[in-house]
Structure 1
């Protein structure tokens, strides 16, 4: 948190300095301020030199204004969440919480490993996308249907938010290890 504040402060100071030098450079190129440097006079006298100075000056001013805007704008600050209104007040559930609940529910199913979840919201409710690796000993259609049922039921019970869609992508299978006992 402290780093972000320091970064914003440094960016703000840098933007002010660059903006000031650019405005001074543009004023010098138009002759509004006496020019002391001989090299600048030579450059300012040529048509290509003036075009270069103006192009660079305008680009730096635009970049500086953009950086100043980024520094001064009020950020949202809050992570994405699902908002609900009840008789007692507002409830906000972070998307990360919903993803973790999804992973918890799906991991209860035997034969499912290496889970990843992505959650989005539409008008009908939550849309859940799950990526999983499964063991090769269980029927994939039965396993994925069980994951869908478990995730939908768990999320609706815990969050109170309807789940409109649960998609399961089976990325791979893992071989169950069979050990043969060795008798000697």
Structure 2
């Protein structure tokens, strides 16, 4: 909720600064002449100017605070509570463990992972390139099993499912030379 409010305030702030900039440019260049007829109009203009300046100043202070504070929620992690205290495991750690487990499977060449956290456990998506020498169904089952077992064993976090996407077949880098 706070992020939505901050985005809305930033929108209003940007719009206000833009409008004030255009008005200032028009007044300074003389395109729009500034005419104040009597002292009551002058007082009203003063009150409006001070009010707008105060609101923009408060918005500036808010955005300055947002820019310098450290937001712990920006680093996604999985929190667990044990009898000895709290444990936090970053999503990046789980991604790296998934990469390690999937890379161990023979025939898998280039691996990328994505982790989603849900109520039922982790949803791990593996994107891989294969060598084309092994059966893809057998290879993907092995990747799923390795990643599932490795993550649950190392972290203790339940894995609800592992999805494997085979993106392509890697071309062999060895070139056979021909003798004539």
The TM-score range, normalised by the shorter chain, is 0.5 to 0.7
After superposition, the C-alpha distances for 1:138-178 in whole angstroms (9 at most, x for unaligned) are: 11111111000000000000000000011111111113356
After superposition, the C-alpha distances for 1:16-41 in whole angstroms (9 at most, x for unaligned) are: xx99xx7xx99xx9xxxxxxx89599
The unaligned stretches of length 5 or more in structure 2 are 1-12, 37-47
Q: Which of residues 105, 112, 116 is equivalent to 1:109?
A: 105
Taking a change above 3 Å as real, the CA distance of residues 44 and 38 of structure 1, as seen in their structure-2 partners, is farther
- Cα deviation for residue 42 of structure 1 reads 2.3
**Which position in structure 2 is the counterpart of 1:72?**
65
**Which position in structure 2 is the counterpart of 1:43?**
34
Q: Which of residues 172, 176, 179 is equivalent to 2:172?
A: 176
User: How high is the TM-score relative to the length of structure 2?
Assistant: 0.65
- Cα deviation for residue 62 of structure 1 reads 6.7
Contact 1:129 1:168 in 2 (8 A): yes
Contact 1:136 1:176 in 2 (8 A): no
Matches of 1:44 and 1:165 in 2, distance apart? 71
After superposition, the C-alpha distances for 1:58-81 in whole angstroms (9 at most, x for unaligned) are: 6x8776654432221444235110
Q: Counterparts of 1:1-184 in structure 2 under 5 Å?
A: 39=30, 42-44=33-35, 65-73=58-66, 74-77=69-72, 79-177=75-173, 180=176
Matches of 2:178 and 2:102 in 1, distance apart? 36
Q: State the secondary structure of the residue aligned to 1:72.
A: helix
The unaligned stretches of length 5 or more in structure 1 are 1-14, 30-36, 46-53
Matches of 2:111 and 2:102 in 1, distance apart? 8
User: How high is the TM-score relative to the length of structure 1?
Assistant: 0.64
Matches of 1:99 and 1:178 in 2, distance apart? 31
Matches of 1:38 and 1:99 in 2, distance apart? 58
**How many correspondences in the alignment?**
144
Aligned residues: CA RMSD: 3.7
